[in-house]
Amino acid sequence: MKGIILAGGTGSRLKPMTTTTNKHLLPIYDKPLIYYPLATVMLTGVREILLIVRPEDEASYRALLGDGSALGLKIEYRLQDKPRGIAEAFLIGRDFIGDDQVMLALGDNIFFGHGLRQILESARATRDGATIFCYWVNDPERFGVAELGTGGKVVALAEKPKQPKSNYAVTGLYFYDASVVRIAEGLQASARGELEITDVNRQYLAEGRLHSRILERGFAWLDTGTPDSLLDAANYIATIERRQGLKIACIEEIAWRQGWIDDAALQRLAEAHGNADYGAYLQRLPGFAR
């Protein structure tokens, strides 16, 4: 499986914070927002990753993440000059995907909870069709909504319905087989001029190949598209990290625990952070068992 992280867009709801900075580079407590979806992809065991960014932001992302080799990854970059819908990611990345499975993570979504790795690995093991992740919310009219039947089977999908038939929002994390490219190529732009990810999922549903995973109580799904949600996410991460003394979405730690880098490589990454607390945390990690 390969991974795509969609980190384009203008972040218009976050201006003036995003006037000169891409929103996925804004801090969520002690690390850039982009670390969180990257961590999700890494926890799935995926090491080949495509980052889709705006042309004006490419240099910043390369300065932050490089080609991924320091983390045992292979990171490639593709450019999206303006947002044309989430599903455009599969057209931009068609040569990257090839004949492989692919997971798509939106750059402003954060996932956290006990057992997340096992859920991700289970979804990866589903070789045919698509898998979406559903999360119960109080305001489903703000999201794509999945109507679920017996055993969590997807019955219908709706995009921001005025009268939702379900409280299950479809989160910004998707798993697909290689036929997603064919499906994306056949899409027509919606009324708002975008290639909709809901239309991709509807096609899989029509083919009887759409699966769902429910993120139960105890999981956190945070969408950081507004100033309030950005602050809420930072406070949430800060509270947990301070209480446990362990970091969330620490990509260096994940790479080390996955066995993709050794102790010496981890030490080099720690030293690159100088006297920052983040670097000191990495310095302490070899004292833990993997």
Q: Does one domain contain both 108 and 211?
A: yes
Q: Does one domain contain both 228 and 123?
A: yes
User: Average pLDDT, whole number, for the chain?
Assistant: 94
- pLDDT tens per residue across span 196-237: 999 999 999 999 999 999 999 889 999 898 999 999 999 999
- pLDDT tens per residue across span 136-163: 999 999 999 999 998 889 999 998 899 9
Q: Does one domain contain both 272 and 179?
A: no
- pLDDT tens per residue across span 64-73: 999 999 999 9
The structural domain count of the chain equals 2
Which runs of E-coded beta strand occur in the chain? 2-6, 27-28, 31-32, 48-53, 74-79, 102-106, 109-112, 130-136, 144-148, 154-159, 168-176, 210-214, 220-223
Return the pLDDT at 243.
96
pTM of the model: 0.96
Residue 254 lies in a domain: no
pLDDT over 80 at 131, yes or no: yes
Q: Which residues, 6 or more positions from 2, have their beta carbon under 8 angstroms from its beta carbon?
A: 46, 48, 49, 50, 96, 97, 100, 101, 102, 103
Q: How sure is the predictor about 9, in pLDDT bands with cuts at 50, 70 and 90?
A: confident
Q: Does one domain contain both 84 and 217?
A: yes
Alpha carbon separation from 17 to 24, 26, 137, 249 (Å, rounded): 11, 8, 27, 23
pLDDT over 60 at 240, yes or no: yes
pLDDT over 70 at 77, yes or no: yes
pLDDT over 80 at 288, yes or no: no
Residue 69 lies in a domain: yes
% residues pLDDT > 70 (the chain): 99
Residue 61 lies in a domain: yes
Q: Does one domain contain both 154 and 24?
A: yes
pLDDT over 70 at 171, yes or no: yes
- pLDDT tens per residue across span 172-198: 999 999 999 999 999 999 988 899 999
Here the CATH number for the domain that contains residue 78 is: 3.90.550.10
For residues 112 and 82, which has the higher predicted lDDT (pLDDT)? Answer: 112
Q: Does one domain contain both 123 and 83?
A: yes
Q: Does one domain contain both 278 and 214?
A: no
Residue 256 lies in a domain: no
Q: Does one domain contain both 174 and 280?
A: no
Residue 67 lies in a domain: yes
Q: How sure is the predictor about 290, in pLDDT bands with cuts at 50, 70 and 90?
A: low
Return the pLDDT at 25.
97
Return the pLDDT at 151.
83
pLDDT mean over 273-290: 84
Residue 144 lies in a domain: yes
Residues of the domain holding 281: 262-290
pLDDT over 80 at 286, yes or no: no
Q: Does one domain contain both 155 and 17?
A: yes
Q: Which residues, 6 or more positions from 246, have their beta carbon under 8 angstroms from its beta carbon?
A: none
pLDDT over 80 at 287, yes or no: no
Q: Does one domain contain both 182 and 277?
A: no
Q: Does one domain contain both 156 and 275?
A: no
Q: Which residues, 6 or more positions from 123, have their beta carbon under 8 angstroms from its beta carbon?
A: 44, 103, 131, 133, 175, 211, 213
Q: Does one domain contain both 198 and 273?
A: no
Q: Which residues, 6 or more positions from 16, have their beta carbon under 8 angstroms from its beta carbon?
A: none
